[in-house]
Copies of this chain bind each other. A is one copy, B any other.
Amino acid sequence: MTTPPTAESDLGWALGAVMRSYLRAAHDAVGAVPGGPRGYQVLSMAFRGEQRSQLALAQHLGVDRTVMTYLLDDLESAGLVERRPDPADRRARRIVLTDAGTEKLCDLERRLRAAEDELLDPLDPAEQEVLRGLLDRVATRTATATDNPCAVAQEMQDELAAPAVTPRRRR
C-alpha cells in the first residue's frame, strides 16, 4: 500500500513537458537546418572536435548509426559538413565543418541561446545556471555509461591533416 502521489511532483511529466517546449522552440529557432535541432547538435559536436566519427556522434546523440548516415547526407549536401577518411582507421569517417558550416553554427548558437533563455524565463538567472548544471551532471553520468568511457581530449578544427574526399554519393 503506497500513498497517493504528491500532486504535480511527477518527474517524468515535467521532463516531458520541458522537453516538448524545448524541441518546439529549438525547431523554430534553427529553421530549415537539415535535421533540425539534432542537425545543430551534430554541427556543434563536429566543431568541438570530440566524437568525430559517425558512430561516436550517433551514440552521443542516442540514435542508431543509420540515422546518422541519413542526417549527415543532408548536412553534407547542404554544404555544412564534410566526410573525411580517418587516417588512423580507414573504415571510419571524420566529420568536419565547412566554412559555411562554421558560420551557420555561430548563427544557430545565437538563436538557440535566445530560445533557451525564453524557455528558462520562469527562473531567475542563478536558478537557470543551477538547472543547467544539475541536468548536465545527470546527463553526463548517465551518458558516459553508454558512451565512450573516457572523453577524447579537445582537438581543434584545423588539426585535421586528412584531405577531403567525396565517397560515392547516392540517394
By a beta-carbon cutoff of 8 Å, the part of chain A in contact with chain B is: 1-2, 4-5, 7-22, 26, 37, 40-41, 44, 47-48, 60-62, 106-107, 109-110, 112, 116, 119-123, 127, 130-132, 134-143, 154
Instruction: Choose among B2, B26, B60, B138 the residue that contacts A12 (Cβ–Cβ < 8 A).
Output: B26
Given the known A-B contacts A44-B10, A48-B5, are A15 and B135 also in contact in the complex, defined by CB atoms under 8 Å? yes
Q: Contact: B122 with A130, CB < 8 Å? A: no
Q: How far is the CB of A25 from chain B (nearest CB, A)?
A: 9
CA distance A141 to B18 in the complex (A): 10
> What chain B residues lie within 8 Å of A20 (beta carbons)?
62
Copies of this protein in the complex: 2
CA distance A107 to B12 in the complex (A): 16
Q: Contact: B138 with A11, CB < 8 Å? A: no
Instruction: Choose among B10, B62, B106, B107 the residue that contacts A17 (Cβ–Cβ < 8 A).
Output: B62
Q: Contact: B136 with A61, CB < 8 Å? A: no
Given the known A-B contacts A2-B106, A17-B143, A41-B12, are A131 and B132 also in contact in the complex, defined by CB atoms under 8 Å? no
Given the known A-B contacts A5-B44, A44-B5, A134-B127, are A18 and B106 also in contact in the complex, defined by CB atoms under 8 Å? no
CA distance A62 to B18 in the complex (A): 11
CA distance A150 to B111 in the complex (A): 31
Q: How far is the CB of A103 from chain B (nearest CB, A)?
A: 9
> What chain B residues lie within 8 Å of A48 (beta carbons)?
4-5, 7
Given the known A-B contacts A123-B134, A131-B131, A138-B119, are A22 and B11 also in contact in the complex, defined by CB atoms under 8 Å? yes
Q: How far is the CB of A37 from chain B (nearest CB, A)?
A: 6
CA distance A78 to B17 in the complex (A): 27
